[in-house]
Every structure is written in C-alpha cells, then in structure tokens.
C-alpha cells in the first residue's frame, strides 16, 4: 500500500515536474515572442535609423524637428597638404589623354567668357574637365620712340590674360566636332590653342622658391 502510495507520490512528483517544465517552456516562448513584438514596435517608432539618441520620451512626436543626424558628417578641417603631382593619363587608341585648351588675349572679358563657354560646352557634352585655371597675367610695355631724339617713353601697357581648360579622356570621334564648334565661335582678338599637357606645364604654375634653390645649390656645391 505504501508502495502504491509512494508510487502515486512518485508519479505525482514526476507529473508535477513535467508540468513545470512544460509551463516554463511555454512561458519562455511567449516571453520571446512578446519581446520581438515589442522590439518591432520600437523600431517602427524610430523614424530614421542611425540615431544615437534614445527615444525615451513618451510623445510619438518627440524629436520631430531633428535634422542634424540627416546631414553628412562634417570632417574636421585638415591643413592643406602639398599639392601632389597627378598621374597624367596617356592616350589610348580611341581617346585622347590629357590636353590643355589655352585661351589668351588682351581683352579680359572676352577671354574669360570664351573660356567659360568652352567649359560649359564640355559639361554639356559630358566631356571630363579636370581643371580650369588661369595663368598669371603678363604685362607688355609698349615703348614709343620720341620724334626728336633717341629716348623711348612708355606709351601703353598691354596685359595678356590666359585661361586654361584641362580636358581628359575625350573620345577621338568627338574631337573634330568639338574643335569645329569652338573655332567657329572664337571671338576676334582671342587666341586659341590646344596643347598636350606635360609635367613642365604643371610645374610652371608654382612659384619659385629662391631661398630653397640657393640652399640646394650650396649643398650640391
């Protein structure tokens, strides 16, 4: 009898244990599901991802005016490094390499407008413009000889302005058309030429440093 009772007690304990396990499993599963549901609701509440600020206020419109997190990250300003020499691309069979279109003349408005016209033309035709810069103005003094005597005096100063538009990777088939358009719209008094870009052209833009050169000469000597 006691055995029976013990057996019954045993089975009841076992039964109880079994029930406990089942209920615990159910409880955990429900908890997980609930947690996921809550998480989903949370992510739906957060309008734009990538925000480090936690939405802990209860109003759904909390933080509605925030925009700083939408702007691109502004990097801290670096000090200007020395300008590196860019690799000059070589010409292939169907494309030109890097070449400079030089526009020069005495009248600055004409020269500027013509170079701007060429630049806009390239943009419109999807031609890659690497750089568009101006070379320093060169002054030419016009000296006139006096009527009686050998002395020359200054009559006028002519300033030559020069603008360069650097073009790279232009297709060879487009080049004659481009040249035709540019030549036909060349204003009077403006000189136009197309030159291959070279290392010397690049270096000519920099100022010379006489002290450095003097010191280098001293070291070499």
Partner 1 sequence: MAAPFSRVYRPLWRIITTSTLNRGVRNVSSSRQQLSAQNVKPAGAASPWALHGAVCVQRLPAVSQDRSPIEEEFMELMHQKDVSSSERCLADSLILLVKKHVGSQKLWLLPQIQWQTGETLRQTAERALASLPGADLTATFLGNAPCGFYKYKYPKDIQKEGSVGAKVFFFKAVLPSHKHLPLEKNSFAWVKKEELQDFLKPEYLKQVRRFIMAL
Least distance in Å: CB of 213 to partner 1?
Answer: 40
Kindly state the helix (H) or strand (E) to which residue 26 belongs, with its residue range.
Answer: helix 2-45
Kindly list the residues in this chain that would bind partner 1 in the complex (CB under 8 A).
Answer: 93-94, 113-114, 117, 124-125, 172-177, 179-181, 183-188
If the CB atoms of residues 117 and 202 are measured against partner 1, the closer one turns out to be 117
Is residue 55 within 8 A of residue 62, CB to CB? The reply is yes
Counts for the chain of helices (H) and strands (E), in that order: 5, 4
Cα–Cα distance between 119 and 128 in angstroms, integer?
A: 10
> At closest approach, how far in Å is the CB of 186 from partner 1?
8
Taking the complex as a whole, the smallest distance from the CB of residue 37 to partner 1 amounts, in Å, to 57
Smaller CB separation from partner 1, 181 or 216: 181
End-to-end CA distance of the chain: 120
Q: What are the CA-CA distances from residue 190 to residues 49, 127, 138, 196 (Å)? A: 56, 23, 15, 20
Smallest separation, CB 84 to partner 1 (Å): 32
Closer CB to partner 1, residue 96 or residue 197? 96
Please identify, using beta-carbon distances, which residue of 141 and 180 lies nearer to partner 1: 180
């Amino acid at each position: 009898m006691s055995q029976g009772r013990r057996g019954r007690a045993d089975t009841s304990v076992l039964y109880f244990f079994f029930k406990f396990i089942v209920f615990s499993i159910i409880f955990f599963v429900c908890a997980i599901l609930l947690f996921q549901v809550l998480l989903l609701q949370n992510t739906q509440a957060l309008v734009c991802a990538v925000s480090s600020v936690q939405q802990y206020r209860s109003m759904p419109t909390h933080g509605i005016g925030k925009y700083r997190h939408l702007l691109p990250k502004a990097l801290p300003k670096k000090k200007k490094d020395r300008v590196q020499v860019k690799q000059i691309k070589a010409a292939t069979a169907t494309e030109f390499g890097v070449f400079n279109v030089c526009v020069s003349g005495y009248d600055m408005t004409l020269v500027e407008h013509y170079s701007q016209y060429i630049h806009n033309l390239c943009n419109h035709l999807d031609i890659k413009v690497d750089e568009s810069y101006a070379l320093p103005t060169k002054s030419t003094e016009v000296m006139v000889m006096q009527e009686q005597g050998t002395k020359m005096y200054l009559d006028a100063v002519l300033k030559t302005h020069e603008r360069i538009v650097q073009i790279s990777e232009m297709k060879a088939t487009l080049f004659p058309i481009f040249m035709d358009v540019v030549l036909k719209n060349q204003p009077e008094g403006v000189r136009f030429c197309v030159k291959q870009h070279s290392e010397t052209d690049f270096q000519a833009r920099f100022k010379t440093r006489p002290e450095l050169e003097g010191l280098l000469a001293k070291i070499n000597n």
